[in-house]
Amino acid sequence: MSSQPHRDDAGAKLGMWLFLFTELLLFGGLFLLYSAYLARYPHEFAVAGARMHLVFGTLNTVILISSSLLVAMAVTAIQKGERRTVLLLLGGTILCAAVFLFNKYLEWSAEINRGIYPDSPRLNAGPPGESVFYSLYYLTVGLHGLHVLVGGTLLAIVALRVRQGAIHAGNFVLLENGALYWHLVDLVWIFIFPLYYLIL
Amino acid sequence: MSPAAESQPVSSSFWNDTGRTGIFSWIFSTDHKRIGLLYLYTALTFFLIAVVLGVLMRIELMAPGRTIMGAQTYNALFTVHGVMMLFLFIIPGFPGAFGNLVMPIQIGAQDVAFPRLNLFSWWLYIIGAAIIITSLFTGGGPPDTGWTFYVPFSARTGTNVSLAVFGVFIVGFSSILTGLNFVTTIHRLRADGMTWGRLPLFVWSLYATAWVQILATPILGITLVLVIAERLLGTGLFDPARGGDPLMYQHLFWIYSHPAVYIMILPGMGVISDIIPVFSRKPIFGYKMIAFSSLAIAAAGSLVWGHHMFTSGMSDMAILVFSFLTFVVAIPSAIKVFNWVSTLYRGSISLEAPMLFALSFLLLFSIGGLTGLILGAAATDIHVHDTQFVVGHFHYVIFGGGVFAFFAGMHYWLPKFYGRRYAEKPAIVAWVLLFVGFNITYFTMMVLGMKGMPRRYYDYLPEFTALNLASTVGSWIMVSGLLLMLANLFHGLLRGTPVGNNPWEGATLEWSIPSPPPTENFVVEPVVTHGPYDFKGAGIP
C-alpha cells in the first residue's frame, strides 16, 4: 500500500540481526538450564553424555559447517552475478540440511530403540540427573532441528526468488539475510555439539 | 501555529485512503496509523472484558464466604483477568497502539521500517488472542494457575493450560517483532535534523521498551515451551521427583516477566514526558536525564527478577543481591519523577484532561514505586508476600501508572487522528471518578494485605469485611468513571468539534501536520530545526 517503494538494505540487515539476537536468547534459556543442572548432577551428566552417538554428532557437525560455507559462497557469487552458481550452492546447502535431518532421524530412532526418550520407563527408573540430561537434549536438539527445517525452507524461497530474477547482483539483501539465519543455525549447533557429545 | 505546518500542502486524510474497501482496507492495511487504531480497538476490547472479570472478582469479595461464585470459578477469573490485562491489553497495547500511531510521525517518517511485518505482528497478536480465548471454552476449561503459570501446579492441573500458554507464546512473538521493527525504525528513519538529542521523550521510552521486548520476550517463549513440553511430553525438567527443580521455572519466568513490567510502564512514562511540558508551557526539565533514565530502567530492570522469589527458597546471598539491585532501579525512576516535578515548577499549568491524567500518574506511580521498595526489601517482603498488599502495589504501578498514562495518551493524541475532540467537562468528571474510585479500590487492598489477607483467595476472615466492601464500592466508582470516559471519547471523536493541526500547541512533529494526518504523514519531507519541547523554536508563542 505504501505509495513509493522504500529500500533500506542496512535497515533490513539491522532487523535481521535483532531477530538473530532473539533466537540466541530463546536457546539461551535451554543453555541456562543445562548449566544449572550440570552443576547439580555432574556425575549423571557425564555418564549420560558418554553414551551419546558421537559418530552422528560429528557427521552432522561437518555437514552443517560445510553448508554454512556453501551459503557464504552463494552470497559472494550473487555479487558477481553468477546466478547458476548461486542456485547450485543454495541447492547444496538445502541438501546438507536434508541430510542433517535424516541423520537426526536415524540417531533419534536409535535412542528411542534403546528406551531413551522423555518419560520413558527406562529413564524414570534410572537416576534423576540422567533423565534431566536426556530431556534437555531432546528439547534443545528438537528446537534446533525445527530451526534447520525453517532455515532450509527460507533458503528454498530465496533460491526461488533468485531463479525468478528478483534477487540479483543489485539487490541481494534477502539472500544475505537468509544466509545470516543459516549461520545462526550453524552457530547454535556449534555449542550443542560439544556440550552434549564431547566435553562430558 | 508552526511555520512548518503552514507550508504543508493539503492532502486527503488516511481515513479516506483508497485501495481496498471495507474491513479489508483495515485488517490488511500496512499504514502504521491504521494498524495503530486496530491495536487500539482490539486492546481496549480485551481491556473491557478483563475489567468485567475484575469487577466480578470484587463482587465475590464483597462479603466473606461464597457470594456469587465458587473457588474454581474465582481461580479461573483471576487467571484470565491477569492474562488478558497483561498479555492482551497493556503489553501489546501501548507500543502497538500509541507506538504505531505516534512514533513514526514524531520522528518525521512516512511509516515504520517494516510495514508488512507490522501488519503481521497485529495478526499474530489476534491469532494468539484467539487461541487464548479458545482455551477458555475447550478442553478442561479455563486455566486456573494465575497468570504466572507456576509449576508444579501448571504441569498437573487438568484445565486447559497448554493451549492458553501456546496463545501467550504467539502473542510474545508478535511483541518481539514490534520491538525489532521499532528499534530499526528509530535507527534508520529519522528525518533530516532529527538527531538523537531531538527525539521526543515518548520515542526514547519506546526505544527502551523495544529493547526489553527484543531481549526479554524470547526467554518467556522458551519457558512457555517448557511448560507445554512438561505437560505433553513429560520431560520432568521442573519435577523434583525426576531431578527437575520448580525454582528453575520461576527464574526463567521472571527473567522475562519482571522486565515486562517495564514494557508496561516505560511507554507510559514517555507519554507523561510529552504531556507535562506542553501543559506547563515550559521546555522539559532534564531532557537528557529522562532519556537516559529510560535506558537505565530497561537495563537495571532486567537484573532484578529474583525479588519475586524471596520466599521461594533462593540462597540468602541471592536474596541480598536481588534486593540491592531492586533498590538501584528506584534511582532512574526517581530521576524521572523529580524532572517532571521540576518541569511543573513555575510553569503556566493548564489543567485539561490529558494533564489531569498525567498529574495523577505522578502521584499513583510514586505510591506504586515506593510500595515496590517495601516488597523489594527482603525483610518486609517476607511479611506481605502473596498478600493483597502485592495486588494493591502492582495495580498502583500498572493501572495507576501505565493505564492512567494510556488514558492520558487517548485524550492527548486521539483528536489528532480523528480530527475531532471530546467534551472537556465530562472528561474531567470521568477523571475524578476514576481517580477517587481507583484509590478506594486499591489502597484498601494494601491495608488488607498489611493486616494479613492473602491474595488469590475467594474467601476471607470476617474481620476483613468492611475494607473489602469499601474496595468493591470503589471499583464501582472507578467503572462508572471508565464508562463515562469511553462514552465521552467515543462521542467526541466521532461527532465532536473539529480540531486544527495543533490543539494543545505542542512542538513535536505530529502537531505540524493536519488532523487527521494524510496517508503519507508528511506531504513535504520535514527538516527538523528545533528540539521537541522548544516551543519558541517551533514558533508557538
| Candidate from B114, B229, B235 with C-beta closest to A15 | B114
Say which amino acid occupies B182.
F
CA of B239 vs chain A CAs: smallest distance (Å): 10
A138, closest residue in chain B (CA to CA): B235
Say which amino acid occupies B390.
V
The pLDDT tens digits for B183-195 are 999 999 999 999 9
Position B8 pLDDT exceeds 80: no
**A168, β-bridge pairs:** A171
Cell output for A154: 527460507
Alpha helices in A83-168 (DSSP H): 83-113, 121-125, 128-164
Question: Taking CB atoms and an 8 Å cutoff, what residues of chain B touch A40?
Answer: 243, 245
**C-alpha to C-alpha distance for A95 and A92, rounded to whole angstroms:** 5
Three-state DSSP at B454 gives strand
Position B537 pLDDT exceeds 90: no
Q: Model ipTM?
A: 0.93
Position B144 pLDDT exceeds 60: yes
Backbone angles phi, psi at B56, to 5 degrees: -60, -40
The pLDDT tens digits for B19-29 are 777 888 899 99
pLDDT for the residue numbered B139: 87
pLDDT for the residue numbered A6: 66
pLDDT for the residue numbered B18: 67
Position B4 pLDDT exceeds 70: no
Say which amino acid occupies B116.
R
Q: Which residue has the cell 534447520?
A: A148
Mean pLDDT of B129-145: 94
pLDDT for the residue numbered B417: 96
B387 — pLDDT class (breaks 50, 70, 90): very high
Cell output for B539: 514558533
A contact residues 147-176, partner B, Cβ 8 Å cutoff: none
| Candidate from A1, A40, A139 with C-beta closest to B29 | A1
Three-state DSSP at B150 gives coil
Question: Taking CB atoms and an 8 Å cutoff, what residues of chain B touch A141?
Answer: none
| Candidate from A18, A30, A131 with C-beta closest to B236 | A131
- Nearest Cα neighbor of B102 from B262, B294, B271 is B271
| Candidate from A2, A14, A22 with C-beta closest to B188 | A14
The pLDDT tens digits for B368-382 are 999 999 999 999 999
Cβ distance A89 to A70 under 8 Å? Answer: yes
User: Would you call A15 and B234 a contact, using CB atoms and an 8 Å cutoff?
Assistant: no
User: Would you call B218 and A22 a contact, using CB atoms and an 8 Å cutoff?
Assistant: yes
What count of residues does chain B have?
541
CA of A121 vs chain B CAs: smallest distance (Å): 12
Alpha helices in B301-352 (DSSP H): 316-344
The pLDDT tens digits for B53-99 are 999 999 999 999 999 999 999 999 999 999 999 999 999 999 999 99
C-alpha distance across the termini of chain B, in Å = 9
Cβ distance B439 to B513 under 8 Å? Answer: no
pTM for the model stands at 0.94
Q: CB-based contacts of B335: which residues, under 8 Å, 6+ apart? A: B286, B289, B290, B293
Q: Is the Cα dihedral A63, A65, A66, A70 positive or negative? A: positive
Mean pLDDT of B159-165: 95
Mean pLDDT of B224-252: 94
Position B5 pLDDT exceeds 80: no
Q: CA Rg, chain A, in Å?
A: 20
Alpha-carbon distances, residue B508 vs B5, B348, B351, B357, B408 (angstroms): 11, 19, 20, 20, 17
B10 — pLDDT class (breaks 50, 70, 90): low
CA–CA–CA angle B248, B368, B51 (5° rounding)? 85
A contact residues 23-52, partner B, Cβ 8 Å cutoff: 23, 25-30, 32-33, 36-37, 40-41, 44
- The residues on B that touch A, with CB distances below 8 Å, are 17, 19, 29-31, 110-111, 113-115, 117, 176, 179-181, 183-184, 187-189, 214-215, 217-219, 221-223, 225-226, 229, 233-237, 241-245, 248, 252, 519-520
pLDDT for the residue numbered B7: 42
Position B301 pLDDT exceeds 60: yes
B442-477 exposure pattern, b = at least 16 Cβ within 10 A, e = fewer: bbbbbbbbeeebebeebebeeebeebbebbbbbbbb
| Candidate from B184, B235, B252 with C-beta closest to A15 | B184
Which residues, given as ranges, of chain A have pLDDT below 50? 1-4
Q: CB-based contacts of B526: which residues, under 8 Å, 6+ apart? A: B4, B108, B191, B192, B509, B512
The pLDDT tens digits for B401-460 are 999 999 999 999 999 999 999 999 999 999 999 999 999 999 999 999 999 999 999 999
Q: CB-based contacts of B494: which residues, under 8 Å, 6+ apart? A: B418, B420
Q: Which residue has the cell 521442573?
A: B238
A149-188 exposure pattern, b = at least 16 Cβ within 10 A, e = fewer: eebbebbbebbebbeeeebbeeebbbbbbbbbbbbbbbbb
User: Would you call B241 and A37 a contact, using CB atoms and an 8 Å cutoff?
Assistant: no
Alpha-carbon distances, residue A33 vs A36, A43, B75, B238, B275 (angstroms): 5, 16, 30, 10, 44
Mean pLDDT of B471-484: 98
**C-alpha to C-alpha distance for B129 and A96, rounded to whole angstroms:** 38
Position B6 pLDDT exceeds 70: no
Alpha-carbon distances, residue B187 vs A83, B190, B273 (angstroms): 33, 7, 21
B29-56 exposure pattern, b = at least 16 Cβ within 10 A, e = fewer: bbbbbbbbbbbbebbbebbebbbebbbb
**C-alpha to C-alpha distance for B357 and B410, rounded to whole angstroms:** 10
| Candidate from B29, B183, B219 with C-beta closest to A25 | B219
What count of residues does chain A have?
200
Q: Which residue has the cell 498514562?
A: B405
- With a pLDDT cut of 90, the percent of chain B lying above it is 92
Cβ distance B243 to B251 under 8 Å? Answer: no
Mean pLDDT of B362-370: 96
Write out the DSSP string of B359-410. Answer: HHHHHHHHHHHHHHHHHHSHHHHHHHTTBHHHHHHHHIIIIIIIIHHHHHHH
Say which amino acid occupies A97.
A
CA of B177 vs chain A CAs: smallest distance (Å): 8
Say which amino acid occupies A36.
A
Question: Taking CB atoms and an 8 Å cutoff, what residues of chain A touch B244?
Answer: 128, 132
Average pLDDT, chain B: 94
**C-alpha to C-alpha distance for A74 and A87, rounded to whole angstroms:** 8
